Every structure is written in structure tokens, then in C-alpha cells.
Structure 1
Amino acid sequence: MSTPLRTSYPVPVEDLIPAGRSLAAELGEVPSQNRLMKHLRVGKDKAKAVHAALIEERTADHAEDHPETRLHSVPDPDETTTESDTTDTPSEDAAEEFLQVTPPTAPVPARRKGWLSRFPRLTRRGGISPADEPTTGAESGNEMRPVRSWPVLLLALPAFVAVWSGWVGLGELTGFGVVHPLPGIADEFTINSAITLPIGLETYAAFALRVWLSGRVPATARRFAMISTLTSLALGALGQVAYHLLEAAGITRAPWQITTVVACLPVAVLGMGAALAHLIHTRENGSH
């Protein structure tokens, strides 16, 4: 039995004809193009050329012996394939032409794959290459420089002074004042309880805002942080408005409605802070 040709270089059609002739002698008839493609390990074009040469030789030999008959090739029933199957097999000539004409495409970087990874033929056959994609400054090789945050300190300093003085002043108008937190232990130690308002409410608002915008917490915690941030900022703004209105009107004691709301703020801040801390460490499925 003849052995198929094995080589990494393209074999001319003239060198393939003897192997095809040997296969025809074994089969007793001219093999089909598909059989030649598989046996000789060549593409469709070369198999077609070898097949035509074998037909011509067999026709010439048979015409000498039997001039009244004509020889035709019979395809093997088990190797009959559809046209779509044969066209899917790339020929060696087409592969060589493609490699000579088309330069090798650079590998697609991980950050540029995107939707092109779903259509590999676009880059393989020259339709669209990753180099043609629009790139931003970060992708074109320029290093991303972090934005300086020190201007926030300049912005926060005057706001801190205004917010601190407003809350402390409102606290004094609503009953907050100097207390002795350690009676019997350190009687001389005193503290103005009005400072608990700006420290508690504004600090929680800043912390909840960071949790909301971080994107590193569960969805439940992020939603709660968003709602509580907006609530804290709204209460802080209302507190500043109330203090300045009372101060402008010359009122030395706030109405009971304002006193009630201000007195509940430390408790509300404690509850929101504890709830947010719990939600941050709680997974989506409810387990810790």
C-alpha cells in the first residue's frame, strides 16, 4: 500500500502524480479528488490537477486498448462530501499567498480585545486591526497621573469653620452646653456637649459618602450609604439655616420643634453609623 507524502514544503504537481498513480493502481480506478486530498495531504487545487492528469493517462491507455469506450472516474461513496465541506479546506497555495501578502498581525492586548475577540476573522483577514481602534490617552502609552487632592483641604477649612460654629451655636440655643462628663472622678474636667453635633453628623456624612462612591461594598450597604449621606447633608444644611435665622432674629432660645430635632441627632447618627458598619461586612446572601 502506498504511503502519503509527508513534507513541510509545497510539493509540485509533477511529484504528486506518481503517488496518485500508485493509489489508482491499488484501487483499480482513478481515485476521487477528495481521496487524493486526504491521501496526498494537499489542497483542492493540486488534488484536482493530479486527478486530471490521472484521468488523461488512464484515458490514453484505455483508448489504445479499447478505442470504442471512454474511461471516467467514479467517486467513492464513503468519501463523497458536499461542496461546502470541500471549500472549507484551505489549499496550500492559498495559505502561501496569504502569508506572503498579509503581514503577521500583532497580538491583541488584553485591554483592547473587547468586541473584536468575538470576530477573530476581522483581524486575521485584514478587515479591522487593533491598531485602527480609537485609543484614549491612557491606552496610547501615556501614564495616568493621579489628581492631587490637597485642594480639598483648602476647600474644607473654611467650610469646617462655618459648620463648626453654626452647630455649636445651634447646640447652645437648644440646651447643649458645658457638662462634667466624669463627676466624682475628674470634677475639674468639663466639655461643651455642643461639639458633638458637628463631629457626629458631619463626620458620618463624609464617611457615608465615601462608602457610597467607593463601589467596594455590597449593593445594600451602598444604597443605605447613599440615602443616609443625602439625609445627613440635608440635616446639616437645615441646621445651619436654622442657626443663622435664629441668630439674625436675636432669639436666644430655639423653639421646641428645633430643639427636639437637634436633640435626636446624636441618637440618629449612632444608629445610622452602626447600621452602615453592619451592612458593609454583610454579604449579599445575608451571611457574615
Structure 2
Amino acid sequence: MTAPTINGTRYPQPIEDLLPAARALDLPDGQTFPSRNRLMREFRIGAPKADDLLARLKADHAKQIEAEQLRTHRLARGAILPADPDTDTTDPDATDPDPLPAVPESAPPAAEPVEITPPEQAEQVTAAGHPDTPTPPAPSKPSRSAVAWPVVLLALPAFVAIWSGWVGLGGLTGFGIVHPLPGIADGFAINSAITLPIGVETYGAYALYVWLSGRLPGPARRFAKWSALGSLAVGALGQVAYHLLEAAGVTAAPWWITTAVACLPVAVLGMGAALAHLVRTHD
């Protein structure tokens, strides 16, 4: 059975009716506002209405503090506040049974109004009165970003050398002409050696971009860093191996070079899938 609320009814009460009762609650020493749980327990209300009621109490408290600060500010400036008629207990008809003779006293000097300078004007006065005060430096002009077209000129000769090296090494390790669509397009043929430069070098460039961009999660950048360095190192070793075998007149690479080169497409596929997953993970 639902307990009656503050005015005896079991229907929900508006915040305006609950606010006076909430102000009258007894609070422990050092506590300014009742807790949300106590408001819910005292007035049988839900959490949203308790939050609203607590916000009203805090807003009223803030207004009281602001009024006290304004009154103190006026007193400091020498302003005369009108007397509150509700708190004036002086009886104008009452007479003093034993009046004392009036003693002339010199009027105290009027308090000079205290002028409070806003913080913005205070900073200007300080800067003007003390010429040695350092002034903030003027904002620098945005620097122009470096052009990227020279990278294309640098990449063209590297692309030619890397492409020919990987294709040549692929030919020495068993890569060659294959028909990927037998029975569908028998005349379509492709040299499988091109998978080496496309896979290894493209992944190395992409992982290098992910690492140096600085706009992705930490795990993705760490994985991209080490995999990019590994991909570039493998690419360099592949070029060295091809040129050494070609200079020695070898027509078929040793088994251990063939094994390593044959595993590269699978390794590039695994690292590319892992990096793509880490790039899309923002946790």
C-alpha cells in the first residue's frame, strides 16, 4: 500500500509542493543538501523527480549566496540599504523612561566608496602601469604544409627496381604464368610473380602510413610500426637475394629462399587483416 505524501494524498505531487518540505528537512552537521535517496524515501518519488528537486534546492542555495555577496558588495561600496519593515521592532510611541542628555558628537567621516575594478580592466591597468610586464606573443601565421609531389618522383625509380626484382625472384622460386580461370577463360593468363611486389611493398607503405599518422589507437600504431619495419626489411632482403642469385647465374633459388618467398603472400594477407581490424577498433 502506498504511503500518503506530504499533504495526505496518494497522488504524485508537483515539485513546487515538495520544495518547501524539502527545505525543512533536518540535515546532519556539515551537509548542505539532502541526498537523492533521502528525497526518494521521504516523499515517495522516483529518481528523476528526486534529481529535479535536488537541482531546485541547489539553485535556491546558489541564489542565496549570490544575494549575500551582492549585499556585501554594496556595503563595501558604502551603499545605504533600506531597513526591512518586517524586522524593525522599534516602537515609535515608546519613550525612554530615563532619557539622557544629548551629547553633541562629531559626525564620523563618510566612508569612501570602494570601486571594484573588473578583472579585464585590472589586467589592462597592470599592463599600462608596468611597462616591463611581458605582453603575450602575437599568434603566428599557420605554416603551409609541405608539398607531396616530389615523393612521386622518388617513388617511380624505386617502383621500377622493386617490381623487376620481385618478379625476377618470383621466377627463380617457382612463380610464373598461371591460368586463374580454367574452363571459364582459358586464354586469360597472369604471372603470379606480381603478387610479391604488390603484396609486400603495398602493405609496407600502408603500415608505415598508419604508424606515422598518429590518429589511430595505440595497438594499431604499434602493430603497424613493427610490421612496417619487418615488411621493409623483407623487401630489402628479397632485392638482395635476387641480385646475388642473378649475378651468380643461378637459375633456381635454393629451397630455403623458395620457402620464404612462397610464404610471403600468406603472411601479407594475415598482417593486412590484423591491421585492418585494429584500425577499426577504437577501444
Do Structure 1 and Structure 2 share a fold, with TM-score over 0.5? yes
RMSD across aligned positions (CA)? 3.8
Closer, same or farther: CA 238–42 of 1 in aligned 2, 3 Å: same
Partner SS, residue 246 of structure 1: helix
Spell out, residue by residue over 1:41-62, the C-alpha distance to the aligned partner (whole angstroms, 9 max, x if none).
Answer: 3549x79xxxxxxxxxxxxx74
CA distance in 2, matches of 1:101, 1:270: 65
Q: Which residue of 2 aligns with 1:274?
A: 273
Q: Shift of the alpha carbon at 1:205? A: 0.7
Question: Number of paired residues?
Answer: 188
Q: Shift of the alpha carbon at 1:132? A: 2.5
In the alignment, structure 1 residue 41 sits paired with structure 2 residue 41 = no
In the alignment, structure 1 residue 103 sits paired with structure 2 residue 128 = no
Q: Which runs of 5+ in 1 are unaligned?
A: 1-37, 48-60, 65-90, 105-121
In the alignment, structure 1 residue 183 sits paired with structure 2 residue 182 = yes
Residue type matched to 2:180 in 1? P
Contact 1:179/1:192, CA 8 A, preserved across alignment: yes
Q: Which residue of 1 aligns with 2:198?
A: 199
Q: Which has the higher helix share?
A: 1
Q: Shift of the alpha carbon at 1:184? A: 1.2
Closer, same or farther: CA 127–267 of 1 in aligned 2, 3 Å: farther
Q: Shift of the alpha carbon at 1:146? A: 2.2
In the alignment, structure 1 residue 232 sits paired with structure 2 residue 231 = yes
Q: Shift of the alpha carbon at 1:152? A: 0.5
Q: Which residue of 2 aligns with 1:132?
A: 135
The TM-score, its normalising length taken from structure 1, stands at 0.56
Partner SS, residue 185 of structure 1: coil
Contact 1:209/1:226, CA 8 A, preserved across alignment: yes
Residue type matched to 1:157 in 2? L
Closer, same or farther: CA 43–214 of 1 in aligned 2, 3 Å: same
In the alignment, structure 1 residue 242 sits paired with structure 2 residue 241 = yes
Q: Which residue of 2 aligns with 1:163?
A: 162
The TM-score, its normalising length taken from structure 2, stands at 0.57
CA distance in 1, matches of 2:73, 2:268: 83
Residue type matched to 1:103 in 2? Q
Q: Which residue of 2 aligns with 1:174?
A: 173
CA distance in 1, matches of 2:276, 2:72: 72
Q: Shift of the alpha carbon at 1:103? A: 3.1
Residue type matched to 1:270 in 2? L
Contact 1:42/1:92, CA 8 A, preserved across alignment: no
CA distance in 1, matches of 2:233, 2:282: 29
Residue type matched to 1:268 in 2? A
Residue type matched to 1:200 in 2? G
CA distance in 2, matches of 1:283, 1:247: 47
Contact 1:180/1:191, CA 8 A, preserved across alignment: yes
Partner SS, residue 282 of structure 2: coil
CA distance in 2, matches of 1:197, 1:241: 15
CA distance in 2, matches of 1:162, 1:186: 32
Closer, same or farther: CA 274–99 of 1 in aligned 2, 3 Å: closer
Contact 1:163/1:198, CA 8 A, preserved across alignment: yes
Q: Which runs of 5+ in 2 are unaligned?
A: 1-70, 80-101, 106-111
Spell out, residue by residue over 1:245-285, the C-alpha distance to the aligned partner (whole angstroms, 9 max, x if none).
Answer: 1111111111111110000000000000111111111232x
CA distance in 1, matches of 2:120, 2:194: 77
Q: Which residue of 2 aligns with 1:5?
A: none
